[in-house]
Structure 1
Amino acid sequence: TQAVFSLRGKPLNSYGLTKKVVYENEEFNLLQAALDIEDGLDSLRYNKVIVATDADVDGMHIRLLIITFFLQFFPDLIKKGHVYVLQTPLFRVRNRRTKIKNKQAIADADARLTGKEKKSDFITRYCYSDEERQQAIRDLGPDPEITRFKGLGEISPEEFAHFIGPEMRLEQVTLHKTDQVQKLLEYYMGKNTMERQNFIIDNLVVEEDLPEDDTLADE
């Protein structure tokens, strides 16, 4: 059984707050009630708690805010391996099967069809990295149609079914015995100290659009 809890924008940064303040936040109050974990994990309704956000900076921030909430008030949820992050694709690469020269790519796609699915005029690959995109372009060439997903809202329900189906990609949120949770939370989610500012400056990564990205076609 699966259920969806819809977040409304960015949740509260709960680091350093008391449970009373957090429970006055309607979203977190409803979340813990939906999971039924206020009094412990014995009544946990779902074995896997999966955080699904856009694959961008804002999405990463929302993941951190949710994980911070769990670490602050329900750390056993993470310690016992119940929390996951859903990996969602960055690109869709597809081409008409009549244009694809790589016959093995067509055969592999058809082999993954379930009994209820019919062969489509298009062969489609969902890519979770630029490396996967480049491979899909090679396999589904020449001149495949490429779409970059800007967020989950752009993905149709029919397509999203693939990402929460048998081929779902989940990354488990884990804690090691040596992890000093409070120090990690204080450093990353606490006040903006000079130490953290220097860390950001020293590790800043600037992304550049590759020339071939000019060929991306949005539908």
Structure 2
Amino acid sequence: LIPLFDGEVFADAQHESFAEGEGAAWCVGFTEDGAPVRESYVNLIPTSAGGTHESGLRDGLFTAVKSFIDLHSLLPKGVKLMPEDVFARASYVLSAKVLDPQFQGQIKERLNSRDAVRLVSSCVRPVLELWLNEHVEYGKKLAELAIKAAQIRQRAGQKVEKRKSSGVAVLPGKLTDCESRDLAYNEVFLVEGDSAGGSAKMGRDKENQAILPLRGKVLNTWEVDRDRLFANTEIHDISVAIGVDPHGPNDTPDLSGLRYGKVCILSDADVDGSHIQVLLLTLFFRHFPKLIEAGHVFVARPPLFRVDAPARGKKPASKAYALDEGELNALLDKLRKEGVREGAWSISRFKGLGEMNAEQLWDTTLNPDTRRLLPVALGAIDFGDTEALMTKLMGKGEAGARRELMELHGSTIEIDV
């Protein structure tokens, strides 16, 4: 909580700008929620409609808070602070003393004296600046409140809607859709890169498998507000293709428009591919959690190695795929036990999905009988704990927390350089 800020300043006989006795007394409180309570007086006359003395208070508060924010470099990039961002959460009682005040209306409900803006602002600003810099902790809380209001205001003006034609969302042009309309049967593969997308289009079962190629790495959406998601083309296309709008964990989204029973993430079996996989899982956990909860999200696991073994006895030549080096070693051990001469086999390593032809992609990642498809589930961990861990992993200001996690678990991971 931010303590009440009160004070009074009145001009003396030597003041250069104002008459002796002119000035203001005030008490201001800042709150995060609830309707602000405001009263103002001029020469003890209530001014229910406000006026220029309230404008002076507004200007003084804003100038002091803006000065504090600039001094401590607290304003995030791209955020522009406005007076209303500071004033919106202020409750106050203001009593101004003005020589020869000019009022509007017969009941003197509003002050119109132009000099009152400068008078009250010059009284409030230096006192608040001093108070903020003497109470830096409270100053930062007030700055945070104002910056949050500015961000909400800017987001409200920048809300991005789903692109529509005649009231219906337009399917992305790069989506290669399937023929079936059976939700339980249909699958869409979010594929890394256009080249892999081309092989996937040729190798898929066009009856029930759709392909949506993604360009590069998708946006880290952990700290992106829902109404700004569609500013990113890739995320807009994913949402439109699957037929579900972004939502939160406590929302009840309309899943009746869902177009595929399985939404499958398909990326390379390397570090970059894993990064893309993490970014997409972040998107679904943060903005489409009900799809995960309902069991619609999957991760396809393409192999890293292909082993071609020669014919042996009555057994014809064969090929097999290995997910990683562990599986590769197990596969080679099996060939040795079957009597295959050491080194008679050939091992190919896939650098990426783009290297696979349509037949290989079908065999390894698209064919329901031979592919590896992992379901994504929320698991037994508490949702709040999962959210806290994801913040450490994906939050922009969490470099220290990530360093701690790497120090703690660095010895348990395999590094592919």
Normalised TM-score (structure 2): 0.43
Letter in 2 for 1:179: F
Query: Could you tell me how far apart the structure 1 residues matched to 2:331 and 2:236 are?
Result: 43
2:328 to 129, 133, 136: 133
Task: Work out whether 1:18 is the aligned partner of 2:225.
Answer: yes
Query: Could you tell me how far apart the structure 1 residues matched to 2:295 and 2:358 are?
Result: 28
**In structure 2, what is the equivalent of residue 183 of structure 1?**
388
**In structure 1, what is the equivalent of residue 211 of structure 2?**
4
- Number of equivalent positions: 190
CA offsets, 1:63-100, max 9 Å, x none? 11111111121110011111110011111111221xx3
Query: Could you tell me how far apart the structure 2 residues matched to 1:170 and 1:200 are?
Result: 28
1:193 to 393, 399, 402: 399
**In structure 2, what is the equivalent of residue 158 of structure 1?**
359
Segment drifting more, 173-182 vs 28-37: 173-182
CA offsets, 1:46-70, max 9 Å, x none? 0011001111111111111111111
Query: Could you tell me how far apart the structure 1 residues matched to 2:389 and 2:290 are?
Result: 17
How do 1:1-219 and structure 2 match up within 5 A? 1-38=208-245, 40-97=254-311, 100=312, 106=315, 122-140=317-335, 141-142=340-341, 143-163=344-364, 164-165=366-367, 166-177=369-380, 178-180=382-384, 181-190=386-395, 191-205=397-411
Q: Which SS does the other structure have where 1:126 is aligned?
A: strand
**Alpha-carbon distance change, 208 to 46 in structure 1, aligned in 2, over 3 angstroms:** closer
- Asked if structure 1 preserves the Cα contact closer than 8 Å seen for 2:305 and 2:350, the reply is yes
Q: How far apart are 1:41 and its partner, in Å?
A: 1.6
Query: Could you tell me how far apart the structure 1 residues matched to 2:283 and 2:394 are?
Result: 11
Letter in 2 for 1:36: G
Q: Which SS does the other structure have where 1:6 is aligned?
A: strand
In structure 2, list runs of 5 or more residues that go unmatched: 1-207, 246-252
Q: Which SS does the other structure have where 1:5 is aligned?
A: strand
Letter in 2 for 1:186: T
RCO greater where, 1 or 2, for CA within 8 Å and sep 6 or more? 1
**Alpha-carbon distance change, 92 to 37 in structure 1, aligned in 2, over 3 angstroms:** same
- Asked if structure 1 preserves the Cα contact closer than 8 Å seen for 2:307 and 2:346, the reply is yes
> Which runs of structure 1 show a deviation greater than 4 angstroms over 4 or more consecutive aligned residues?
205-209
Instruction: Among all aligned residue pairs of Structure 1 and Structure 2, give the percentage whose two residues are the same amino acid.
Output: 34
Normalised TM-score (structure 1): 0.79
Q: How far apart are 1:207 and its partner, in Å?
A: 5.2
Segment drifting more, 63-72 vs 194-203: 194-203
Query: Could you tell me how far apart the structure 2 residues matched to 1:126 and 1:82 are?
Result: 26
Q: How far apart are 1:208 and its partner, in Å?
A: 8.0
Query: Could you tell me how far apart the structure 2 residues matched to 1:9 and 1:193 are?
Result: 23
In structure 1, list runs of 5 or more residues that go unmatched: 107-120, 210-219
Query: Could you tell me how far apart the structure 2 residues matched to 1:68 and 1:14 are?
Result: 7
**Alpha-carbon distance change, 176 to 131 in structure 1, aligned in 2, over 3 angstroms:** closer
